[in-house]
Amino acid sequence: MVQYINKLLKQSFFNLNEKWEEKYPIVIKSWQDNWEKLTEYFQFTSDIRRMIYTTNTIEGYHRQIRKVTKNKGVFPNDTTLEKLVYLAYRNIRKKWTMPLANWEAITQQLAIKFGDKFKFL
């Protein structure tokens, strides 16, 4: 399966290269130089890739904090802001306990791929 995906990636990049190399040579060169890093994501199974692109905890956390603080014009002091962020964090943390879809299968796949490096707690 991985070999098939690599073949598709190379063909797609070849097509992209033919179409855009003259107009965007620096971008195409950068992709060529960093091809292994760019395609590493596709070495994972579809379950793991889905988890990676749908689980952006940091951006979600920042979005929730911005939502809470956005409508407040000025905070009387730092403590008020800290309390507001703490209360927002408590509410956000409740959502973090939700299980990820296919988590058992994903942990098994990661254990196979990384062996002893992967230790699930």
Q: Where are the domains of the chain?
A: 57-99
- Segment 32-77, tens digit of pLDDT: 999 889 888 888 888 888 888 776 778 888 898 999 888 887 889 9
Contact 61, 92 (CB under 8 A): yes
- Segment 7-41, tens digit of pLDDT: 888 899 899 999 999 999 999 999 999 988 988 88
pTM listed for this prediction: 0.55
Instruction: Supply the angle between the helices 46-54 and 103-114 in degrees, to the nearest 10.
Output: 110
